[in-house]
Amino acid sequence: MRFVTLVKLIPGKANEFFRIIKSRSVTIPEGIKVISAFLTYGSYDMVLIWEATDISKANEALRQVAESGIVSTETMIAQSIEEFLG
């Protein structure tokens, strides 16, 4: 399963967010693979493209992010045009 997650920093948490990114100390749960991560300007601060082996692994990863209290997210399931067309 492939996902696109739009990330917004919680006000006042930017220093903590960038400290984690610089230290590369993010623990990625088993069954999750980050394909791409982009820092962005505009309504969202980061865009993540990632995969999970199944929906329960995706839910686990999203709960972990939510519990950090550093960011809020909006996540969409993504599929290629070829997958859509079958």
* CATH code of 31's domain: 3.30.70.920
Average of pLDDT values for 12-39? 89
The per-residue pLDDT of the chain, averaged, comes to 93
Q: What are phi and psi of 28, to 5 degrees?
A: -95, 125
Average pLDDT of the segment spanning 57-68: 93
**pLDDT tops 90 at residue 71:** yes
Yes or no: say if 72 and 33 are a contact pair by the CB < 8 Å rule: no
Q: Is the pLDDT of residue 2 over 80?
A: yes
Q: What mean pLDDT comes out for the span 7-16? A: 93
Domain count, the chain: 1
Per the structure, the complete domain to which residue 34 belongs is given by 2-85
Main-chain dihedrals φ then ψ at residue 85, nearest 5 degrees: -75, -20
